[in-house]
Amino acid sequence: MFDLNDKTVLITGGTGSFGNKFTEMVIKNFKPYKLIIFSRDEMKQYYMAQKFSPDQYKFIRYFIGDIRDQERLYRAFHNVDIVIHAAALKIITSGEYNPIEVIKTNVIGANNIINAAIDQRVNKVLALSTDKAVNPINLYGASKLAAEKLFIAANNYSGDSNTQFSCVRYGNVINSRGSVIPLWKEQAKTGKITLTDERMTRFFITLEKVADFIFNILEMMKGREVFVPKMPSMKIIDLAKAIAPNAKIEFIGIRPGEKLNETLISEDEAHHTVEFDKGYIILPELEEDYNQYYYSKYKKVSERFKYSSDTNSWWINQKEILQLI
């Protein structure tokens, strides 16, 4: 686990589900010099400050700002050691209806973070990505793929700042903001819940597992990698039955921009991917030798490897689902 004691850490989109859990775990395990919560929503910051008060936790700071505003990022990143980039517009249907807004935040915002981090000499930048960036069929996924490419390429021109840029790509987070679970819990009160397709499968992970994985990545990362945690799959119909066992299920069909199954590593990425105990590391394709020294101890996956939610070897049943949620 990477030592955050006496470090200055900034989380973009820090008032989200991940930011709250990460803050909780930092408080529990470390004494950073500063932990900066950077986000654009003053009301969410107000509520988060009731939970994590700067009066009680002297190292916590709340910065209002938008990653679209590069000047504000320059100010916020001054003397910051580590940036965890979690800010994004991520609602798929909203993104299809408001495409340029997604581009401004998820792509241009990513570029703003890169420029500010290099010029302010941030040591490490870890960007959170998504399974939807693999073979994307919606704008959200395409924007996150573009962001991944930007962060990996940023290592090529970080210059004497020596800023390291890496990404972590993972699937659906149980009970996170925007999760289907709260929706189904509300629908269950009416005796009926809606489900798009009974064949659908998804990767799932808890916020605790995501945060724990990121603490390990911060220790491992050298720049240019995309890290993928090992995650269980579940059938969405099993999730629905676990949450609302007595409710009638109405199938409404796959929504625009939605997939039956999700993929975290494509076959095209397999030839430059290695496996370690907690996950996989997708190494830079254009610089095959760059990280070989660091990651030569790990086993390469087979060339036909594909990490997909429908062919995953790790599945959880309804009982295990209930334990997770």
| Confidence band for 290, pLDDT divided at 50, 70 and 90 | low
Degrees (nearest 5) of the Cα angle 72, 123, 2?
120
CATH code for the domain in which residue 71 is found: 3.40.50.720
Asked if 52 and 26 touch (Cβ cutoff 8 Å), the reply is: no
Asked if 85 and 167 touch (Cβ cutoff 8 Å), the reply is: no
Q: Which of 113, 116, 136 is CA-nearest to residue 126?
A: 113
Q: Which residues pair with 273 in a beta bridge?
A: 282
In the predicted structure, residue 178 carries a pLDDT above the cut 80: no
d(CA 127, CA 148): 8
Within a 10 A sphere around the Cβ of 284, how many other Cβ atoms?
Answer: 18
Mean per-residue pLDDT over the chain, rounded: 93
132 is catalytic: yes
d(CA 2, CA 61): 21
Q: Read off the pTM.
A: 0.94
Assigned domain for 245 exists: no
Q: What percent of the chain has pLDDT over 90?
A: 82
- Mean of the pLDDT values across residues 50-65? 97
- Of the residues 44, 132, 259, 306, only one is catalytic, namely 132
Assigned domain for 315 exists: no
DSSP 250-285: EE--PPTT--SS-EEE-HHHHTTEEEETTEEEE--S
Assigned domain for 313 exists: no
pLDDT the model gives residue 287: 58
d(CA 295, CA 312): 24
For 222-245, letters b (16+ CB in 10 Å) and e give: ebbbbbbbbbbbbbbbbbbbbbbe
Q: Reduce the DSSP state of residue 61 to 3 states and report it.
A: strand
Assigned domain for 102 exists: yes
Tokens of 82: 């580590």
Give tens-digit pLDDT for 218-240: 999 999 999 999 999 999 999 99
Assigned domain for 184 exists: no
| Count of the separate structural domains present in the chain | 1
Residue 241's φ and ψ, nearest 5 degrees, are: -70, -30
- Mean of the pLDDT values across residues 129-139? 96
Tokens 């050691």 sit on residue: 81
d(CA 56, CA 59): 9
Rg for the chain, CA atoms, rounded = 20
Assigned domain for 281 exists: yes
d(CA 220, CA 1): 9
Assigned domain for 321 exists: no
Give every CB contact of residue 146 below 8 A, 6+ residues apart in sequence: 106, 107, 110
Give tens-digit pLDDT for 251-279: 999 887 789 999 999 999 999 999 999 99
Give every CB contact of residue 82 below 8 A, 6+ residues apart in sequence: 4, 7, 8, 9, 10, 122, 123, 124, 125, 126, 218
Give tens-digit pLDDT for 88-101: 999 988 999 999 99
Q: Which of 32, 49, 59, 263 is CA-nearest to residue 141?
A: 263
Q: Which of 321, 291, 150, 318 is CA-nearest to residue 222?
A: 291
- Mean of the pLDDT values across residues 118-146? 97
Q: What percent of the chain has pLDDT over 70?
A: 97
Assigned domain for 251 exists: no
DSSP 65-129: --TT-HHHHHHHTTT-SEEEE------HHHHHHSHHHHIIIIIIHHHHHHHHHHHTT-SEEEEEE
Domain holding 280, by residue range, is: 8-171+205-230+264-306
